[in-house]
Structure 1
């Protein structure tokens, strides 16, 4: 049976492998989306990503950290997400999860 540290090393290696696969596939996915948008005449505004779809109030900050399961966090003031608390409690640095 593998030890905890061996399993954690395997998990981290798999996460790195998955992130690389995501990056490798990203260009073709974006090209496919753009082609479908052009084919059907869809605009970014049609997708709700632009044009004032946010409610009045504070603007959402861009994510600065990605958690072990893909969770995103901007790193602003206020309560930390549970995954951030778990990372810090395990002795890891939040900087290891910077995007």
Structure 2
């Protein structure tokens, strides 16, 4: 029957072998990558790639107005904070439906 000290020694030896195998595998992988890079004329920038860019016109889309002040013609899409003209009108007793487009 093996003792705890013997098992711990075996564990330490296995961990050392694992670490050495990982270093060797990493070294081989790096060598393969360098070989492929030189064969195809690639650089580190080629491997990093570029961030995808949004096609023109898709970044900002206009949203149709949902509410309009008939007196001034100002409008609000219903997104974000309520504009001051609408806040003032609502405070004076009007409803949001009064301004629907």
Q: What is the TM-score with the length of structure 1 in the denominator?
A: 0.39
Larger radius of gyration: 2
